[in-house]
Structure 1
Amino acid sequence: MIFYNRHGQAVVNMNERGQLFSFQGHPLGYIKNDVIFTYQGQHLGWLHNGWIRDSNGHAVFYGDHPTGGPIPPIRKIAPIPAIPQLPPIPSLPPLPPLRPLFSSVWSQYVDTNFFHFR
C-alpha cells in the first residue's frame, strides 16, 4: 500500500508484513497491531481508517480509502519504488501510549522526517 502526504505526493510504501519503506528502499519502521514503531523501538503513531497518525492523533499520511480525517488532496502519480533493503531486526517495542482522539488536522510532519527520532 502506498501512503501520500498532505500534498498528494507518494512518500511511504508498506509491504504485506506491515514494514514501511521510503521509495528509495530505505526501511523506515513497521506496524504491529495498528501501532507504528521505528526499528529502534520508538513509538511513532497509529494506523487508523487508512491514515497514518502521529502521537498527537494528527494526520501524517493517507492510503487508498481514508476516512475520518482532513480532506486528502488528489494523489500524484507514485514513482516506482526501489527494491527494499533488508530491514533491521526490530527492538522490543514499548507499550504504546493511550491513543489520543484522532483529529481532522494535518500533522507538522510532511515527509519521511516523521520516522526520525524526535
Structure 2
Amino acid sequence: MDPIFDRVGGVCAWLHQGVIYSFRGEPLAYVRAEWVISYRGRYLGQLINGYFQDRHGASVAWMFGAAGGPTTPVPALPPNPPGLQELPPFPVVGVQPVSPVASLVWSRSSWDGFVGG
C-alpha cells in the first residue's frame, strides 16, 4: 500500500492495486490507465508521473517518485497503512474521459474535494 500525499506533504489517502483508499481504509476511487474514476462512474482527474491531477490538469496530490509537476514538499512520515474495511466495488464500465494537458501548478481543490467530486 503506497501513501498519497497532499500539497503540504501530509498523507491523505493510500493506493493499493489501482484502488484509492481513504485514511480509514474505505475504497474511494480507482485508477484505470491514467484516469481516476469514482465508484459512481465520475471522472475525477488523472494520475500522471506520480501526480494526481484534477480535471483541469492541476496537481491535487502526489506519490513518492512524482516527476514533471509542481515542487513537492518534504513529506510527513507515513503512518502504518489502514486495514482495508471492505472490498472495493466493481469499476464502472464505459467511462471515456478526455485527459487535460498536465500543469506545473497545484490545484485550488483539496484532496477531499477531488475524491468527493
Q: TM-score, normalised by structure 2?
A: 0.90
> Given the superposition, is the C-alpha separation of residues 114 and 93 from structure 1 closer, same or farther in structure 2, using an over 3 Å criterion?
farther
| Gap regions ≥5 residues in structure 1 | none
Residue matched to 2:77: 77
Q: How does 1:1-118 map to 2 (within 5 A)?
A: 1-15=2-16, 17-84=17-84, 85-97=86-98, 99-117=99-117
SS of the residue 2:77 aligns to: coil
Deviations 1:72-114 (A, max 9, x none): 00001112222112222232242112x2211111112223331
Amino acid at match of 1:104: L
* Distance in 2, Cα, partners of 1:42 & 1:81: 26
1:50 and 1:66 in contact (8 A); partners too: yes
| Gap regions ≥5 residues in structure 2 | none
Aligned length: 115
* Distance in 2, Cα, partners of 1:49 & 1:92: 24
Runs of 4 or more off by more than 6 Å in structure 1? none
* Distance in 2, Cα, partners of 1:76 & 1:93: 37
Aligned alpha-carbon RMSD (Å): 1.3
* Distance in 2, Cα, partners of 1:50 & 1:107: 15
* Distance in 1, Cα, partners of 2:9 & 2:40: 28
SS of the residue 2:113 aligns to: helix
Amino acid at match of 2:100: P
Deviations 1:10-61 (A, max 9, x none): 112111x200001211111000111110011100111111111111000011
